[in-house]
């Protein structure tokens, strides 16, 4: 959304949401998470949610850092616009290279692999030989036979890094004899 409120803000349905939850560990660069809701819901969560009971509050420095990040990202559109631009560029470059980019309406760029062992191996090769870390996603997170690599570009990935990523992925795909775009469409 225009102020970083996510899909609900983007789609104009914030007024229909009873509970907002999120992480402070990604875009905000901190740790922890939050929920925003009515006082009755918040009280119920404090009293009954297993993930909340017997935990401690975040340190004040982390809360301050999260507050500063939230204030900045609410006012600045550069990061959101650049993030979307980088995701679109990664999708376009990888698709042009013949890699099996699966459809995604988010900034996440999934690459179809279709085999758990080769998915893990692809991730390992990328890290060991190219110093690129990409998370392999296997069952039970996704259905068996739809294993994939999950690429998450950031606003700070420049064109040279994206091009290097594409080159490394093409090498890995060739080495592991992974299917290119034509064979990946069935998994979408």
Residue ranges of the chain whose pLDDT lies below 70: 182-188
Rounded to an integer, what distance in angstroms lies between the CA atom of residue 21 and that of residue 32? 11
Residues of the chain with CATH 3.90.1150.10: 79-187
Q: Of 9, 63, 147, give the one whose Cα is nearest residue 134.
A: 147
At residue 112, the pLDDT reads 97
Q: Give pLDDT tens digits for 135-161.
A: 999 999 999 999 999 999 999 999 999
Reply yes or no on whether 26 is catalytic. yes
Q: Give pLDDT tens digits for 59-68.
A: 999 999 999 9
> In the chain, where do the E strands start and end?
20-23, 33-36, 109-112, 135-137, 148-151
Catalytic residue among 26, 74, 144, 183: 26
The residue to which tokens 């069952």 are assigned: 139
Which fold would CATH assign to domain 79-187? 3.90.1150
Q: Of 146, 144, 119, 145, give the one whose Cα is nearest residue 134.
A: 119
């Amino acid at each position: 959304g225009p102020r970083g409120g996510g899909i609900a803000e983007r789609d104009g349905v914030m007024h229909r949401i009873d509970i907002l939850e999120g992480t402070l560990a990604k875009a905000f660069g901190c740790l922890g998470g939050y929920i925003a809701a009515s006082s009755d819901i918040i009280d119920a969560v404090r009293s009954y949610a297993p993930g909340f009971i017997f935990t401690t509050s975040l340190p004040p420095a982390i809360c301050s850092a999260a507050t500063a990040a939230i204030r900045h990202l609410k006012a600045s559109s550069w990061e959101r616009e650049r993030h979307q631009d980088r995701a679109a560029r990664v999708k376009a470059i990888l698709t042009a290279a013949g890699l099996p980019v699966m459809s995604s309406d988010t900034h996440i760029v999934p690459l179809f692999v279709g085999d758990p062992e080769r998915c893990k191996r692809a991730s390992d090769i990328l890290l060991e030989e190219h110093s690129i870390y990409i998370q392999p996603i296997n069952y039970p997170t996704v259905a068996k036979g739809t294993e994939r690599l999950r690429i998450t570009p950031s606003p700070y990935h420049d064109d040279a890094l994206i091009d290097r990523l594409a080159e490394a992925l093409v090498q890995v795909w060739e080495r592991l004899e992974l299917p290119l775009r034509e064979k990946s469409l069935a998994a979408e």
